[in-house]
Amino acid sequence: MGGAEAIQGRLWIALAITAGAVLGMVALFMASKASLASLAAMCARVPLWTYGVIALGQATIVLLAAVRWRVLLKAVSPRGETLALRHATAATTSAAIAGQFLPIQLCTPVIRAWFASRFDIPVLRSLGTSALEQTFQLLVLVGAAGLSVMFLLPTPGWMFDASAAILFMTALIVFVRLAIQLASKLLVHVADHETPLLSRTAGRLRLGFERAAQLPDGILTSITALSLLGYAVLAALNVLLLNAIAGVDILPLLIAYPLVLFLMSLPVLPGGLGVVEATWAGILAREGLPFDQAVEAALALRVVSTLGFFLIAPLLLADLRLSKRSAP
């Protein structure tokens, strides 16, 4: 009973934080002197056919996440048990829907584990593989942040930047085990020399990297490649949409995207609600957009991308089954 009450208490806290984030967005909207008519006009800049592309991009992101989870489930199972792709996709989509209202980094492992238990896959195994998947996403995010720093340096031109980006990401895939070892050593140093809060966080992250290092080379490479592909699709979708809505250059948006994704990934707010909009608004204002239009563009991005996801969600949920079954 106590455990159920604790879970219910945490759920209410998460919902209260979400409500606070929504109020923060409303305050940002009102303080910027933006208007609903202008926000609607911003959304209208996206042609109707584009929603099909957005839905396809969102489906690709969900499918890549489902594939990563399936691969990890099979890798850690003594008998190679995993879920069918359609079932893993339905579970991941359910988590993504919950992530509109709750922190997705927290609700994804729980929802997936509950769903996988319908197929006789142990709860702890499901929780562990979802957490392990997040380790690879963190590794890719750090790599993308490194690329963003590189883009800030003077270079001969965009051809050099593109070639360097491809080489950097290829090296991350090929030398992923070395990258994991370096990250683990850095986290050990942080755990030993920083504040108690940072030490605990670094300790948990280090455990994730150590578990990742135990995977075979083929699994490491494939999961890293899938994580990179997922990041590329997500970044392209958001940056190109914001470019269409606000009409600013793409490169500054690409450079800023790792920071935005980091804020989206924090296990506090659902999708970085409010914080992401404020960050995008600041970036757009820095690029010369009036602040009220910058706020409207950031909110329009949230509205349009969310609509695109919910357009494709019913199809991704087509194989959602709640009755207990055996794993394939």
Per-residue pLDDT of 134-185, as tens digits, reads 888 888 888 888 888 777 766 666 677 778 778 877 887 877 788 777 777 7
pLDDT at 8: 64
- Per-residue pLDDT of 184-195, as tens digits, reads 777 776 666 656
Average pLDDT of the residues of the chain: 83
pLDDT at 201: 66
Cα–Cα distance, 275 to 272 (Å, whole number) = 5
Q: How many residues does the chain have?
A: 328
The amino acid that residue 128 corresponds to is: G
Least confident window among 38-42, 199-203, 248-252, 260-264: 199-203
- Which residues does 182 contact at the CB level (< 8 Å), separation at least 6? none
- Which residues does 178 contact at the CB level (< 8 Å), separation at least 6? none
CA neighbor of 160 nearest in space, from 148, 151, 169, 149: 151
CA neighbor of 319 nearest in space, from 108, 80, 93, 126: 93
**Domain segments of the chain as ranges:** 51-316
Report residue 181 CA to chain centroid gap: 23
Is 90 exceeded by the pLDDT of residue 61? yes
- Block residue for tokens 């909009």: 277
Is 50 exceeded by the pLDDT of residue 66? yes
Is 60 exceeded by the pLDDT of residue 327? no
- Per-residue pLDDT of 98-125, as tens digits, reads 888 888 888 898 899 999 988 888 888 8
Most confident of 33-42, 62-71, 104-113: 62-71
Is 80 exceeded by the pLDDT of residue 328? no
pLDDT at 18: 75
- Per-residue pLDDT of 222-270, as tens digits, reads 998 999 999 999 999 999 999 999 989 898 898 899 888 888 887 777 7
